[in-house]
Amino acid sequence: MLPLTELPTGRRARLSLLAGERSFRRRLMELGLLPGTELCLVRRADLGGVLEVEVRRSRVTLRAAEAGALMVSPV
Amino acid sequence: MSADPTTKLVALAGNPNTGKTTLFNQLTGSRAKVGNYPGVTVERREAALVLEPHGIVTLVDVPGTYSLCARAREEQVAIRAVAGWKPDPAPDCVVVVVDATQLSRNLYLTVQLIELDVPVVVALNMVDMLAETGERIEIAALERGLGVPVVGISALRGEGLAELRAAIARVLADPASARPGFRWRVPEGPLERDIAAVADAIPEEWTRPAQDGPPSERRRTALGLWALLSIDEHDELEDVPAALRARTLERLRGAQTSGRNLEEEVIGGRYAWIEALVARARVPATSSAASRTDRIDHVLLHPVAGFALFLLAMVFVFQSLFAGADPAVSWIESAQAWLQDQTRALLPAGLLSDLLADGVIGGVGSVIVFLPQILLLFFFIGLMEDSGYMARVAYLMDRLMSMIGLHGRAFVPMLSGFACAVPAILAVRTMERQRDRLLTMMVVPLMTCSARLPVYGLLIAALAPIDGASWWQQGGLMVAMYLFSTLIALVAAAVLGRTVLRGPKVPLILEMPPYRMPHWKSLLRSLLERARVFLSEAGTKILVCSLLMWALLYFPRPAPTQEFPDAGAPAAEQIANSYGGRLGRAIEPAIEPLGFDWRTGIGLIGAFAAREVFVSTMGVVYGIEGEADETSEPLRDRLRSERRADGTRLFTPLSCLSLMVFFAIACQCMSTLAVVRRESNSWRWPAFLFGYTLALAWLCSFAVYQGGKLLGFA
């Protein structure tokens, strides 16, 4: 298990733990990012400090600083 | 808010980026009525839809949302609109636009709508896009699973619209056919008891699907769920009864102590049901599409190339606003001048002729002159939104903008502010949160807009005649003014964002929609709508202010004297004696420490109509023949040679600099204030903007002038 921020680009993983504030967790889950869901880290913008994740065929962008609250297990 | 209560109301809901607006425009031919949702500045568009046998039906556009859950006022708009919480009218049917290429996420909202027990029709959009990969969706299976009508459409190509209309008409005639009730089964046990307990505290009036209809137990349950997921200690919701809040918080605490995760139970429950349905209804793709979006993003989101391309695009947008609007603007100005000449030629000289020519025609002209820039900016914004690029702007700019507390999307309005604050402030609508919008509106007017350039031009030229030796100093001074204004804006954003507009730091969660072709007709229609709304709402306020400004500098008329039997005193004397002129004298003690005298005071008051008017007002004050502009040599010479009573020069380099600093900061622009009023929906924010920039401008000018004098500059 590792934080999403440490997942190599292009790797698929399963979301195992979702922490953070309630509204943050709720919004991610509503977008389909539930514990147990498979995701893929598509791209990270080091300059912009954000990363892009593919989940249930849609793309979601998170701040790296906030994505530390997501723990994933590579599959 | 349909005029006729018997007119049926259909709400159009959906996730963002699903082609909802395009569908709205395709379904309704007539022009939309544009207003705000009650109590918030979230745009509400409604238009007539002719639907046999019901006749005219009203279609209302619900803001795009991923869920009905809400944590703040702005997010509450969707649930209020579909559930018909007063003062929102209750819809007779909700059409939910579902993006067929992202089925499960879109069905999440659909499932919530069905739970609410409102009649639902699913418009399955972009079915044509599936064909590219050989994927298929069995509409019949989807319909069976959801229990509501599903129609495959392509909003972009206008396909399936007749079938969609027919389905809506059938549901309006037989609402029960599209109210199947809860789709996923809430597991027996603690969650069921939580929902029942909270549902018990839901106000009776929330539970009526139709106005004055019988209450619905299903809706009560659905709202119980809504409350459990939306209400907490930190929410900023409105109109939540205290009893409901207390009951919800009590159940949330109970769940927490027993180590349950309520959100995961509910959201997970819905998604599990959705995935099972999607597995039945979707025939998977035969070929994996190395998607076009990925290939485009590979370039556009590239750390170096993507950033460079973004800056290039922004330079292009800015250049278009700054220079591209010029031909249209000068056309409007010459049309205005022609009309004014005609009026003067037709009417005898006097009050009526002056009122019509300068007051009315001049005032209307000062409104219309904003249109070219507004249309251009909204064309670019529409293009960026519809193509999907706008989400990438936030992706690229988030870190930079959030350092000063601004939203990533604030970049486009801030940049546009260098051309003109009016279109820039209209553009803050692209941000969701009221706090982000207000903060951007409060700092955009600090950017050096093009109306300040003639003022700077005149003052810089007044500093010294243009000659070979100092042209670079003059250019350098202009550049310095740009840098100064940008710096002040960034500092103001950082300070205001931590004080007056302090708000919780909201995590960035952003969908990156696939790139799509914009629907040109729809884009054009939004542009015309934008122009109409500007003219009818902000435009009327600007016009009234223009007339007031005109009257302020026109009255009182001096009595005809022997010397000037027709027009009274010469213009310079007249303006000095006008109410505005008296005001200019009255404020002299306040502006004296900045190095200005009462004549500059009149110029400052005149500049409230539009900053560049400062130049022509100064021309009148100093009795320069004809209409003066910043290149007028007589005016420049006059400013250079003007003396105070004690014989010292009035416009020293130091007082010119002080005046430029004042112009850089003070938001003395009635048009900007009028659009801030419209976009913030209150007088408080334009008043605050005016007040704080005025105070800041005074302080900075004071520091420049007095500090400069102390340091021995003249």
Considering the domain architecture, whether residues B636 and B579 belong to the same structural domain is answered as: yes
Among A50-64, B238-252, B503-517, B671-685, which stretch is predicted with the lowest mean pLDDT? B503-517
Domain for residue B39, yes or no? yes
Considering the domain architecture, whether residues B703 and B582 belong to the same structural domain is answered as: yes
Please state at what angle helix B190-199 crosses helix B242-257, rounded to 10 degrees.
170
pLDDT at A34: 95
Distance in angstroms (rounded) separating the CA atoms of residues B477 and A58: 50
Among B72-86, B139-153, B621-635, which stretch is predicted with the lowest mean pLDDT? B621-635
**A48–B71: do the CB atoms touch at under 8 Å?**
no
Instruction: Round to the nearest angstrom and report the end-to-end CA distance of chain B.
Output: 63
Domain count, chain A: 1
- Asked if A1 contacts A72 with a C-beta cutoff of 8 angstroms, the reply is yes
Interface predicted TM-score (ipTM) of this complex, two decimals: 0.97
Domain for residue B476, yes or no? no
Domain for residue B351, yes or no? no
Highest mean pLDDT among B123-137, B469-483, B688-702: B688-702
Mean predicted confidence (pLDDT) in B80-100: 94
Choose among B457, B447, B453: nearest CA to B421. B447
Considering the domain architecture, whether residues B54 and B135 belong to the same structural domain is answered as: yes
| Domain encompassing residue A45 | 2-74
pLDDT tens sequence across B501-552: 988 778 888 899 999 889 899 899 989 988 998 998 888 888 888 888 888 8
pLDDT tens sequence across B183-223: 998 988 999 999 999 999 999 989 988 777 789 999 999 99
Considering the domain architecture, whether residues B157 and B194 belong to the same structural domain is answered as: no
Confidence class for position A48, pLDDT limits 50, 70, 90: low
Higher pLDDT, B40 or A59: A59
pLDDT tens sequence across B392-413: 887 888 888 888 888 888 988 9
**A32–B108: do the CB atoms touch at under 8 Å?**
yes
Average pLDDT along chain B = 88
> Looking at the partner chain, which of A22, A31, A42 has a beta carbon nearest the beta carbon of B232?
A22
Mean predicted confidence (pLDDT) in B3-11: 79
Give B245's contacts (C-beta < 8 A, 6+ positions apart). B231
- Asked if B94 contacts B119 with a C-beta cutoff of 8 angstroms, the reply is yes
Give B317's contacts (C-beta < 8 A, 6+ positions apart). B377, B380, B412, B415, B416
> Looking at the partner chain, which of B268, B397, B512 has a beta carbon nearest the beta carbon of A61?
B512
Considering the domain architecture, whether residues B16 and B49 belong to the same structural domain is answered as: yes
**A58–B511: do the CB atoms touch at under 8 Å?**
yes
Considering the domain architecture, whether residues B50 and B119 belong to the same structural domain is answered as: yes
Confidence class for position B139, pLDDT limits 50, 70, 90: very high
Phi first, then psi: give them for residue B283, nearest 5 degrees: -95, 115
pLDDT at B2: 43
The Cβ of residue B356 has, within 10 Å, a number of other Cβ atoms equal to 17
Residue B104 has pLDDT above 90, yes or no: yes
**Which residues in chain A are closer than 8 Å to B101, comparing Cβ atoms?**
57
Choose among B32, B44, B119: nearest CA to B74. B44
Residue type, B347: L
**A61–B509: do the CB atoms touch at under 8 Å?**
yes
% of chain A with per-residue pLDDT over 70? 96
The domain that holds B224 is classified in CATH as 1.10.287
Q: Which pairs with CB-CB distance under 8 Å and at least 24 residues apart come from B366-369?
A: B366/B542, B366/B543, B366/B546, B366/B609, B366/B610, B366/B671, B367/B535, B367/B539, B367/B542, B367/B543, B367/B546, B367/B671, B368/B332, B368/B535, B369/B329, B369/B332, B369/B333
Considering the domain architecture, whether residues B244 and B126 belong to the same structural domain is answered as: no
**A45–B396: do the CB atoms touch at under 8 Å?**
yes
pLDDT at B288: 59
Domain count, chain B: 3
The domain that holds B116 is classified in CATH as 3.40.50.300
> Looking at the partner chain, which of A22, A47, A58 has a beta carbon nearest the beta carbon of B105?
A58
Q: What is the DSSP string of B174-188?
A: -GGGG----SSPPPT
Domain for residue B254, yes or no? yes
Distance in angstroms (rounded) separating the CA atoms of residues B363 and B357: 9
- Asked if B674 contacts B541 with a C-beta cutoff of 8 angstroms, the reply is yes
Confidence class for position B465, pLDDT limits 50, 70, 90: low
Q: Which of B178, B198, B214 is the last residue of a domain?
A: B178
Considering the domain architecture, whether residues B165 and B196 belong to the same structural domain is answered as: no
Q: What is the DSSP string of B637-684?
A: HHHHH-B-TTSSBSS-HHHHHHHHHHHHH----HHHHHHHHHHHTSSH
Helix or strand holding residue B510 (H, E): strand B509-511
B565 exposure class (CB count in 10 Å sphere: 0-12, 13-18, 19+): exposed
Task: Give the β-pairing of A50-55 and A58-63.
Answer: antiparallel
Residue B443 has pLDDT above 50, yes or no: yes
Considering the domain architecture, whether residues B116 and B194 belong to the same structural domain is answered as: no
Choose among B451, B466, B456, B450: nearest CA to B633. B466
Domain for residue B211, yes or no? yes
Higher pLDDT, B121 or B322: B121
Question: Residue B320's Cα: distance from chain center in Å?
Answer: 20
% of chain B with per-residue pLDDT over 70? 96
Q: Which of B283, B300, B326 is the last residue of a domain?
A: B283
Domain for residue B460, yes or no? no
pLDDT at B580: 87
- Asked if B209 contacts B117 with a C-beta cutoff of 8 angstroms, the reply is yes
Considering the domain architecture, whether residues B204 and B95 belong to the same structural domain is answered as: no
Distance in angstroms (rounded) separating the CA atoms of residues B626 and B257: 81
Helix or strand holding residue A41 (H, E): strand A38-45
**B396–A27: do the CB atoms touch at under 8 Å?**
no
Residue B289 has pLDDT above 60, yes or no: no
> Looking at the partner chain, which of B229, B398, B513 has a beta carbon nearest the beta carbon of A48?
B398
CA distance B640 to chain A (A): 50
> Looking at the partner chain, which of B102, B267, B301 has a beta carbon nearest the beta carbon of A30?
B267
CA distance A3 to chain B (A): 17
pLDDT tens sequence across B565-580: 444 457 777 888 888 8
Q: Which of B121, B149, B178 is the last residue of a domain?
A: B178
**A62–B509: do the CB atoms touch at under 8 Å?**
yes
| Domain encompassing residue B267 | 190-283
Residue B357 has pLDDT above 60, yes or no: yes
**Which residues in chain B are closer than 8 Å to A30, comparing Cβ atoms?**
66-67, 69, 108, 267
Considering the domain architecture, whether residues B97 and B228 belong to the same structural domain is answered as: no
Q: Which residue on chain A is closest to B269 by alpha carbon? A: A34
CA distance B512 to chain A (A): 5
Average pLDDT along chain A = 91
- Asked if A54 contacts A39 with a C-beta cutoff of 8 angstroms, the reply is yes
Choose among B600, B613, B599, B620: nearest CA to B549. B613
The domain that holds A59 is classified in CATH as 2.30.30.90
Considering the domain architecture, whether residues B136 and B28 belong to the same structural domain is answered as: yes
The Cβ of residue B157 has, within 10 Å, a number of other Cβ atoms equal to 12
**Which residues in chain B are closer than 8 Å to A26, comparing Cβ atoms?**
69, 229, 263, 267
Domain for residue B173, yes or no? yes
Size of interface A-B (CB pairs under 8 A): 104
CA distance B35 to chain A (A): 28
B184 exposure class (CB count in 10 Å sphere: 0-12, 13-18, 19+): middle
Residue type, B24: F
Among B223-232, B430-439, B447-456, B640-649, which stretch is predicted with the lowest mean pLDDT? B640-649
CA distance B66 to chain A (A): 7
Domain for residue B403, yes or no? no
